Chains A and B, each alone.
Chain A
Amino acid sequence: KQEVTQIPAALSVPEGENLVLNCSFTDSAIYNLQWFRQDPGKGLTSLLLIQSSQREQTSGRLNASLDKSSGRSTLYIAASQPGDSATYLCAVEDYKLSFGAGTTVTVRA
């Protein structure tokens, strides 16, 4: 059974600091890994999708890496802004999408 773990559970940083969010998974036989953002009481917004054959994906200030063999992914958010405050979830797809519990980020102005 695939288990996805996200560390830390919560993170508070001053505006402008870079964010590093970690995700680990137990079964490396995945098709892809996705990072999502969730605002309170809302649905999820897909940020990045990394296919199993890829090592990283970038979108604007966001960069996600994938090391499938070690079962790890890292999401980097450069120059954080208060609008980045949200819960960030990673999910791995094998025969279904399995989610981590998320990292709740607070960016202080």
Chain B
Amino acid sequence: EAGVTQSPTHLIKTRGQQATLRCSPISGHTSVYWYQQALGLGLQFLLWYDEGEERNRGNFPPRFSGRQFPNYSSELNVNALELEDSALYLCASSSGSTGTSGTNEKLFFGSGTQLSVL
């Protein structure tokens, strides 16, 4: 069974540009989570999508946005890139129930997209 896949593996952008990161969850998983892991910092929660809807959002500015498609894959878009956006962006999926958190389902993570903003 394929795990969570993320693309691209690496992405290099310059300040002010836009970045689009993609994630395909494990087959059958409806929930997708995005996390940012900046160097020296812990994982910071960005967004949670379930059944095509944004369920929760972390403490990030609006230029971080995303969506979930009918096949449950997801995109994370970062507009007006800043140097401090350089980080490893991790996507995770679970088979959580619609509209709830606390699903007691394990999260399965992809290998991440390393975004470098120059």
Collect the chain B residues with CB atoms within 8 Å of residue A95's CB: 56, 101-102
Measured between alpha carbons, how far is A1 from B46 in the docked complex, in Å?
A: 15
Q: Is B108 an interface residue (CB 8 A)?
A: yes
Q: Is A71 an interface residue (CB 8 A)?
A: no
A43 in contact with B58 (CB, 8 Å): no
Interface centre among B88, B90, B102, B108, by most A CB within 10 Å?
Answer: B102
Q: Is A101 an interface residue (CB 8 A)?
A: yes
Collect the chain A residues with CB atoms within 8 Å of residue B48's CB: 96
From the candidates A46, A97, A101, name the one contacting B41 in the complex (CB within 8 A).
A101
- The digit string for A35-50, where 1 denotes a CB below 8 A from any CB of B, is 0100001111110010
Q: Is A74 an interface residue (CB 8 A)?
A: no
B104 in contact with A97 (CB, 8 Å): no
Q: Given A97-B45, A99-B42, A46 and B106 touching (CB < 8 A)?
A: yes
B104 in contact with A31 (CB, 8 Å): yes
Q: Is B80 an interface residue (CB 8 A)?
A: no
Measured between alpha carbons, how far is A94 from B103 in the docked complex, in Å?
A: 10
Collect the chain A residues with CB atoms within 8 Å of residue B43's CB: 44, 89, 91, 99
14 contacts between A and B (CB under 8 A): A4-B42, A31-B101, A34-B107, A41-B112, A43-B6, A44-B107, A46-B107, A89-B43, A93-B101, A96-B48, A96-B56, A96-B101, A97-B45, A97-B107
Where the two chains meet, the residues of B that have a C-beta atom closer than 8 Å to any C-beta of A are: 4, 6, 33, 35, 41-43, 45, 48, 56, 58, 88, 90, 92, 101-104, 106-112, 114
Instruction: Please name 14 further chain A to chain B contacts, defined as beta carbons within 8 Å, in addition to the given A4-B42, A31-B104, sorted by A numbering.
Output: A31-B101, A31-B103, A32-B104, A34-B107, A44-B43, A44-B92, A45-B109, A49-B104, A51-B104, A91-B43, A95-B56, A96-B48, A96-B58, A100-B42
